[in-house]
């Protein structure tokens, strides 16, 4: 049983991971309605929920379809490449990234861009596939110089609501990720382990990460 992606609430329709993300956001960061927040998603139920709570929430998706791209309309998607964000330096109080960074081959540049666009003392809450028993990251695939993909392990695809073929996972993370985030510009990084029968946060070793610039 994939507890992390199940246990959907019959009222809000958010699964275990999404509800825990909101809970951790409110408890560890406590943003206000004035907070400038950037989420690396825009078409998910989680984003729709957060948009009702935070009027200055900005979301985006990675898409090559120009018909879907728009700056700030509610019915179209904003395109952003997390390794080359278009936002000015010190734009946001909070950045949220849930199960996105494993799909970015150059994830170190993505960490650096998140640190750049955060305000001083700004915080980032993120989740990734994480092996708490591993020091090193597990690189499953990588891009060659010609843009083709080299598979180091059997291809692993995750669900993508905009792509029926799914989204390729390039890496699973280990504890080395925390030092890589510090090298990218964050001053401190915490691993947040959570479990609750009351809230339906079930499953072994549920972990998200909080980083401060």
Could you report the per-residue pLDDT of 113-133, keeping only the tens digit for each? 999 999 999 999 999 999 999
Residue with the larger pLDDT of the pair 163 and 113: 113
Q: What is the mean pLDDT of residues 33-42?
A: 97
Task: Please give the distance of CA 202 from its chain centroid, rounded to a whole number.
Answer: 20
pLDDT digits (tens, 9 = 90+) for 51-65: 999 999 999 998 755
Coil/strand/helix, residue 139: strand
Domains and CATH numbers, the chain: 3-128+174-212 (3.40.50.150)
CA dist 38 and 110 (Å) reads 14
Q: Token digits for 25? A: 């956001």
Q: Which helix (H) or strand (E) holds 190?
A: strand 188-196
- Reported pTM: 0.92
In this model, does residue 66 exceed pLDDT 90? no
């Amino acid at each position: 049983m994939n507890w992390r992606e199940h246990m959907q609430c019959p009222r809000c329709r958010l699964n275990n991971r999404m509800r825990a993300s909101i809970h951790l956001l409110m408890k560890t960061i406590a943003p206000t309605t004035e907070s400038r927040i950037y989420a690396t998603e825009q078409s998910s139920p989680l984003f729709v929920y957060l948009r009702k709570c935070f009027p200055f929430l900005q979301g985006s998706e990675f898409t090559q379809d120009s018909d879907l791209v728009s700056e700030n309309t509610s019915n179209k998607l904003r395109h952003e490449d997390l390794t080359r964000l278009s936002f000015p330096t010190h734009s946001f109080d909070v950045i949220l990234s849930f199960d996105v960074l494993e799909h970015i081959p150059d994830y170190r540049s993505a960490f650096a861009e998140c640190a750049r666009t955060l305000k001083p003392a700004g915080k980032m809450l993120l989740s990734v596939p994480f092996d708490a028993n591993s020091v090193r990251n597990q690189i499953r695939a990588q891009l060659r110089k010609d843009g083709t993909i080299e598979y180091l392990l059997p291809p692993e695809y995750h669900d993508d609501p905009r792509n029926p073929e799914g989204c390729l996972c390039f890496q699973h993370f280990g504890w080395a990720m925390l030092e890589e985030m510090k090298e990218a510009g964050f001053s401190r990084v915490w691993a947040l382990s959570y479990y609750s029968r009351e809230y339906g946060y079930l499953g072994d070793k549920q972990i998200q990460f909080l980083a401060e610039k």
